Amino acid sequence: MPDAEDVRRVALSLPDTTEKVAWNMPTFRVAGKMFATLPEDETSIAVRCPKEERDELVLAEPEKFWIADHEAGFAWVRVRLSVLEDEPELRDILADSWRQAAPSRLLDTYPELGIPAAE
């Protein structure tokens, strides 16, 4: 099961990503645009997700995905770390969120999703 340090390591491995504390929690940004947060108890992450896909994810896997009340109007979904199968699943989720926030110059530079090879 991935933990907060895995989230940090994987997120920061994505191109042009920085970590910044906002709202008293770590947030991860690509080219200054937020794509993930590690909320207060560090047992979940919030990531970008188009609303229609988000709703489908929550219906399909409610034990893994949910929508925080204060994020309901935005294209974000929460992911419970304890339910993720492994680090590759975490990497896929973070990379997908990264792609939604990344500028086109980075998407063009990293057509393979911007995911460095696993070490």
- pLDDT surpassing 60 at residue 29: yes
Residue appearing with tokens 């975490």: 90
The total of other beta-carbon atoms located within 10 Å of residue 79's CB is: 24
Q: HSE-up of 69 (CA within 13 Å, CB side)?
A: 0
Instruction: Give CA–CA dist 54/66, Å, rounded.
Output: 8
- Whether pTM > 0.75 for this model: the answer is yes
Average pLDDT on 1-29 reads 95
Distances (CA, A) of 60 to 55, 66, 77, 83: 9, 11, 13, 14
The confidence band for 119, taking pLDDT boundaries of 50, 70 and 90, is very low
Short-list 34, 33, 31, 28, CA closest to 11: 28
State pLDDT tens for residues 62-115: 999 999 999 999 999 999 999 999 999 999 999 999 999 999 999 888 887 544
Token pair of 8 as six digits: 């940090």
